[in-house]
A and B are shown apart, each in its own frame.
Chain A
C-alpha cells in the first residue's frame, strides 16, 4: 500500500502543473488580450500601472517565458491583485477560506449523516414505501437548484416562521470573536461567548441544510446499493446466528462494511459541494470564497476568478487524494497488503 500512496503523491505535482497550465491558457484567451486579465479597465490608461503589471507577469517576453513567469508567480503564492478589493487575491482567499470551510464541513456532516441514515433505511425496507420515499427525497435534493431552494427556505423559515435569522454569518449587532481559527462557532466557544456561539450556529443551520441536501442523494444512493450488497453476505447470517439483533446487524456489521466503498465518493461529493457552496454563499451573503467568486464573475475580476479556479482545482485534487488514501486505510484487506 505504501507504494500506492507514493505513486499517488508523485502524480500530484504533475496534475497541479496541469491545472496551472490550463489556467494560463484560459487567461491568455481573455478577451483576446491577457493584459486585460491582469489590469482592470480603469487602470488601462495608467501607463505606470500597465508597465508594472507587464513586467511582473513577463508580458513583454515570449510565450514560453511568460508561462515560466506565470508558474513562478503562482509557486510563490502570487495570484495577482483583485480588481475590486485591490488586495492580493491570495490574501483575499485566505481571509475567506475559514467561512467556506465552516459551511462546507457543516454541510458535509449533515449531508453524509442523513444520507447514510436514508441509505440504511432504504436498504432495510427495500422496495417498500420507506425505500421509495427515501430515494425520492434524496433525488429531489440533488435535483433542486440551491439558488432557488435557498431563497424559498429563507423565505419560509426566516421571513414567515422566524425560526432562523436571515442571510449572513452573524447578527449585525454582534461583533465577530477574535479570529483564531476563523470558524465563528469555534472562535466564539474559545472566547467563552455562548450567545455569540448560538448566533453563529443559528446562521449556519439553513445554508448548511440547503447545501447538505444536495449531497445527501449521492451518499444515500451509494450507501443503499452497498448495503444491499453487504446484507446478502454470509457474515450477516453468521452475525444473526450468534445472536446479534437487527440494529447490531445493520449498524455494526452491514454499515461498517458498506461505508468502505462510500468513502470513495467523498471526493466526488466535494465537487458538488464546491459548486453548491458558490451558489449557496451567494444566496446567504456568506462571506466565503464562493460569494467572492460570484462577485468576481459578476464584476469580471479576472485575477480573482483565476485564483479561485486554481485554488479550487488544487483543493479538489487534494481531497481526492486524501479519500483514496483513507479508503486504503479503511479496508483492512488493502491496508495490510
Chain B
C-alpha cells in the first residue's frame, strides 16, 4: 500500500501573534474528492495556500503536509517550485484576476508547459496547448491561443485556468471556489468539467467552497471549518445525513433542498468572529443555541461520533439530534 496522496497533520498557521488556522488534519486519496467548507475568513484559503507553499515568508506554518508521504513543510522554495504546477496544481476563484492581463492565453498556457518541460520544442508546446484547450472543451482553440483574457467570457476564462492547471497531469488539483465568480448557468458546466477530468485522470481533487450544496454533489469526504479549526469531518453521506456539530447542522439547515424534510430555511444567528477576537472555549459557542457553561470554558476536541465522522462539540451526541427532531416536528 503506497502512502496516501495528501496528508495534512496538525497544521497551524500564524500571522505574527494571530493564529489563523489551528490543528487542521486532512487526508485525500487518489481519485477522491475532498470538500473543504466554511464561511469566508474561516481559514480555508490560507490552508490551501499553505499546502501549495504559497504563503509569504513571514507567516509561521507548523505541523506537517505530506504529498505521497514526502514532507513539504520546511522544504526550500526551489523544490516546491518544481512541484507546483507539476504534481499539484490549483485553480482560483476569479479567473479574470488570476489570468495575467497582458499575456495571451497561448503564452500563459505555454509557460505552464515550458516550466516543467525544459527543452520541449515550440511546435510540441503549441500542440500540447491546443490539446489542453480541447480537453477543457474550448471551441476554436487555435484562435483562443492568440487572445487575451479580457476577450474571453467568464466561463471560458475558468476553462483556460483549468487547462493551465492540467498542463502537466497533476496528481492533486486544488480548486478554490472555482465557480463563485461565474454565472449560475456556467457553474454547473465547470463543475461537470472538473468531475470529468478527475474521473479520467484519477487525480485527487480538493474542492474549497462556502457552498455545502456544491460540495455535497461531488465530494467523497467533507471537512467543515469554523474560525480556523475543523469542527466536523467525515464521509459526505455520514455528515450530510446526520450532522453532529451544530454549525454543520446550521449550514445544512440554511441550504434550500427539495429532497429533505426540512420545510423552513434557518440562518445561523450572528457572524464569524474576527481573527483577533476569537472567543474562549468552543469557538462557535456565541452563535450556538445549545451552548452551556462548559462550551464557554473548554475547547472541545474532535472525536468520533455515531455516524462514523468526527466532530468537535461537547454535545455532539445529544444536542444536534434533539434539534433535528424539533426541526422535523
- Quick check: do A and B touch in the complex, using CB within 8 A? yes
Nearest-CB distance from B307 to chain A (Å)?
35
Say whether A191 faces chain B, with CB atoms less than 8 Å apart.
Answer: no
Say yes or no: B111 contacts A244, CB within 8 Å: yes
Nearest-CB distance from B95 to chain A (Å)?
9
Q: A252 CA to B102 CA in the complex, in Å?
A: 10
Q: Which residue of A lies closest to B115 (CB)?
A: A243
Nearest-CB distance from B198 to chain A (Å)?
18
Question: Which secondary structure dominates where chain B touches chain A?
Answer: helix
Report if A243-B148 is in contact (Cβ < 8 Å); known contacts: A233-B97, A234-B92, A234-B97: no
Report if A242-B77 is in contact (Cβ < 8 Å); known contacts: A237-B92, A336-B148: no
Q: A10 CA to B312 CA in the complex, in Å?
A: 71
Q: A81 CA to B208 CA in the complex, in Å?
A: 77
Sort chain B's interface into a size bin: 20 to 34
The one of B84, B103, B151 that contacts A242, using a Cβ cutoff of 8 Å: B84
The one of B82, B85, B101 that contacts A257, using a Cβ cutoff of 8 Å: B101
Q: Which residue of B lies closest to A259 (CB)?
A: B102
Find chain A residues with CB under 8 A from B100 CB.
Answer: 235, 238-239, 253, 256-257
Say whether A331 faces chain B, with CB atoms less than 8 Å apart.
Answer: yes
Find chain A residues with CB under 8 A from B164 CB.
Answer: 242
Say yes or no: A336 contacts B151, CB within 8 Å: yes
Report if A252-B92 is in contact (Cβ < 8 Å); known contacts: A235-B97, A241-B52, A243-B82: no
Q: A241 CA to B89 CA in the complex, in Å?
A: 6
Say yes or no: A234 contacts B94, CB within 8 Å: yes
Say whether B194 faces chain A, with CB atoms less than 8 Å apart.
Answer: no
Say whether A240 faces chain B, with CB atoms less than 8 Å apart.
Answer: yes
Say whether A333 faces chain B, with CB atoms less than 8 Å apart.
Answer: yes
Which residues 268-308 of A sit at the B interface, judged by CB distance below 8 A?
A: none
The contact string, 1 if C-beta is below 8 Å from chain A, for chain B 71-115, is 000000110011111100110101001111111000000011001
Say whether B134 faces chain A, with CB atoms less than 8 Å apart.
Answer: no
Find chain A residues with CB under 8 A from B111 CB.
Answer: 239, 242, 244, 248, 252
Q: A256 CA to B94 CA in the complex, in Å?
A: 21
Q: A240 CA to B54 CA in the complex, in Å?
A: 7
The contact string, 1 if C-beta is below 8 Å from chain A, for chain B 165-181, is 10100000000000000
Say yes or no: B101 contacts A333, CB within 8 Å: yes
Say whether B132 faces chain A, with CB atoms less than 8 Å apart.
Answer: no
Say whether B278 faces chain A, with CB atoms less than 8 Å apart.
Answer: no
Nearest-CB distance from A261 to chain B (Å)?
12
Say yes or no: A237 contacts B54, CB within 8 Å: yes
Q: A308 CA to B148 CA in the complex, in Å?
A: 44
Residues in chain A within 8 A of chain B (CB atoms):
233-235, 237-246, 248, 252-253, 256-257, 260, 330-333, 336
